[in-house]
Amino acid sequence: MKRFFTAMLGTVAGIWLSAFLFVALFFVFIIAVASSTSSSAKLTENTVLYLDLNGTIEERKPQLDLMAQITNNATNVLPLNDILQALKYAATDDRIIGLYINCDGATAGMASSEEILNSISEFKKSGKWVYAYADSYTQGNYYIASTADKMFLNPQGNVDIKGLSATTIFFKGLLDKLGVEMQVVKVGTYKSAVEPFILTEMSEASRRQQEHFLGNIWNYISSHIANNRNVDIATINAWADSITITQTPKYYIENNIVDSLLYRHECEEMIAEICGVEKFDDVNLITATQYCEKENTLNPDNSTNTIAVLYAVGDIVDQGTTGIVGRTMAPQILELADDDDIDALVLRVNSGGGSAFASEQIWEALEQFKAKGKKFYVSMGHMAASGGYYISCGADKIYADNTTLTGSIGIFGLVPCIKGLLQNNLGITQGTVSTNKNSDFIALSQPMTGYQRQSMQRMIDNGYETFVSRCAEGRNMSVDSIKAIAEGRVWDGQTALEIGLVDKLGGINDAITDLASEMGFETYCIKEYPSLEEELMKQIMNSSASIKQNIAQEEFGEYYQYIQSIKALSNLEPLQCRAEKIIIE
């Protein structure tokens, strides 16, 4: 009886807690929606577009993180789509007289920075001024700001120009100590995503491919900085080799790294004078997001011609609530195919891949979209590799930035064997009874037999042949031609264009504009997917999981990411179209 009442009270308490949380989340939702739709910014004469590079630049405005709002743990996200749309339309808006860039250390993928820089360059063609200011310039922010008419730096600030590097962390030594053996079956000499688990240092093939794309990307970045600062590339490399962050402000002026050393209030007073007002507080600043909301840049002409932009961002998984989820994205593509109001599609891909099965389902859904007679373009962001390329390869046209990482056409299987961990380190043994010799396949507590490994290799080979055939069909190339540039190798966007993996260099605005032109649209509107409102409702319904996640993050702190990595590893599907996560700094 005691247990009964205890269970009953626990259930009642759970119901009340759930009800309380739902009400709390509902009110946070109402407040957030109200705040997002009510902006104090005004769009009048002498308005200055304000690009505040402070936070993280992501593909689009994220859905409202209700738990982050409740716990006051929200991060500042700068939507790339808003920035690009604002720069595009502000260039021809007579009310916008200039652009003020505040470089405060925002982080972004190289391709995102490239698209922002190119959009600022287009904005400048209107004849409007562009000023940039920083207390200190990070290399990424300096790259974006280098296109400004004038670059200002705090007299006590510094500039960090150092070139690019990519570091791989290897876990083989740790796994050996734990008694865990990673059994790898793969196709592709350059398929380096498995190397951290089976090697203690970088393979020659992996080093060779990274040197190639890092060199090309740095040449592209340094050439743009050199052109914008009226110096040569050798000078940019001299800056990088000198460790500019350690140099004196005098060095920055003498070497034309910046134009002037000003305190922030001096820069702001200059802008106020340009705007014809007494003080900076009277300058009418408007952010990119505020401008897009007021001008409705996605549908400026209320046109009936509609291009869908579908964002495919993150790891590709079969099911779940984050990333590119095959079970939800494939049906959504089919809905767009059947929607008579949708005329064409741009798939924006920023992914290093994941599940081969989910990649195939998304690829097939996109084929169904094309079968309806609708055009389908791909715009690649920072990375569209492995599974990210799989879902892209069937597009009518593929656009990539110069600094995009793409390709990595290869497949692998990764099966951990924890026998050593259980038996030698924990003293756990087991006995198994089977009706057939492979009944326990795949068993994490036992190494694969020779026959099982051969069978696994057969599955990987079949998956690779399918992947290659999809690419050959989509790119109108022979299978042998694809295999010659496949082998799991990662390519930069410029090289990808040269070898036929992409059709044109350009950002998402270029893909949309060209698609509209091919469709013969003089006017058109853009509709973005997935719907942020639908994602928010899913978040409310899954609030219990969000609470657990936030508690875990608070409890484990910086180690939470490693716990998540281990969890993701244990949930891997047998076949993976995944590229190594390359962080370029």
Q: Which string of DSSP letters, residue by residue, matches 330-385? A: HHHHHHHHH-TT--EEEEEEEE-EEEHHHHHHHHHHHHHHHHTT-EEEEEEEEEEE
Q: What is the pLDDT of residue 188?
A: 86
Token digits of residue 80: 């790339």
* Residues 132-160: tens digit of each pLDDT: 999 999 999 999 999 999 999 999 999 99
Catalytic member of 186, 191, 375, 419: 191
Place of tokens 């003089």: 522
CB neighbourhood size of 226 (10 A): 18
Active site residue 386: yes
Single out the residue of 137, 177, 140 nearest to residue 157, CA to CA.
137
Q: What is the CATH number of domain 41-162+243-295?
A: 3.90.226.10
* Residues pairing with 152 in the sheet: 133, 260
Q: What is the pLDDT of residue 552?
A: 58
Q: What is the pLDDT of residue 80?
A: 97
Strand 324-325 with 316-317, pairing:
parallel
Q: What is the pLDDT of residue 21?
A: 47
Amino acid at 51: L
Decide: helix, strand or coil at residue 127.
coil
Q: Distances in Å between the alpha carbon of 449 and those of 14, 73, 183, 431, 443?
A: 48, 49, 11, 17, 11
Rounded distance between C-alpha atoms, residue 407 and residue 386, angstroms: 6
**Dihedral angle sign, alpha carbons of residues 439, 442, 444, 447:** positive
Q: For residue 442, say if its preceding peptide bond is cis, omega within 30 degrees of 0.
A: yes
Same topology, domains 41-162+243-295 and 306-543+573-578? Answer is: yes
Token digits of residue 5: 């009442």
Rounded distance between C-alpha atoms, residue 575 and residue 461, angstroms: 10
Active site residue 39: no
Q: Where are the domains of the chain?
A: 1-38, 41-162+243-295, 306-543+573-578
Dihedral, 471, 108, 527, 358 alpha carbons, nearest 10? 40
* Residues pairing with 438 in the sheet: none
In the sheet that 96-103 helps form, which strands lie side by side, from edge to edge?
Answer: 260-261, 150-153, 129-134, 96-103, 47-53, 284-287
Catalytic member of 355, 386, 408, 546: 386
Angle 211-215-219 from CA coordinates, rounded to 5°: 180
The DSSP element (H or E) to which 172 belongs, if any, is: helix 172-178
**Phi/psi class of residue 408: alpha, beta or left (left: φ > 0; alpha: ψ in -120 to 50)?**
left
Rounded distance between C-alpha atoms, residue 462 and residue 475, angstroms: 20
Cα R_g (the chain), whole angstroms? 26
Q: What is the pLDDT of residue 330?
A: 98
Give every residue of the chain whose pLDDT is below 70, as ranges.
1-40, 63-75, 533-574, 585
Rounded distance between C-alpha atoms, residue 282 and residue 276, angstroms: 9
Distance from the first to the final alpha carbon of the chain: 63
Question: Does the domain at residues 306-543+573-578 carry the CATH identifier 3.90.226.10?
Answer: yes
pTM summary value: 0.87
**Dihedral angle sign, alpha carbons of residues 383, 387, 390, 395:** negative
Q: What is the pLDDT of residue 303?
A: 85
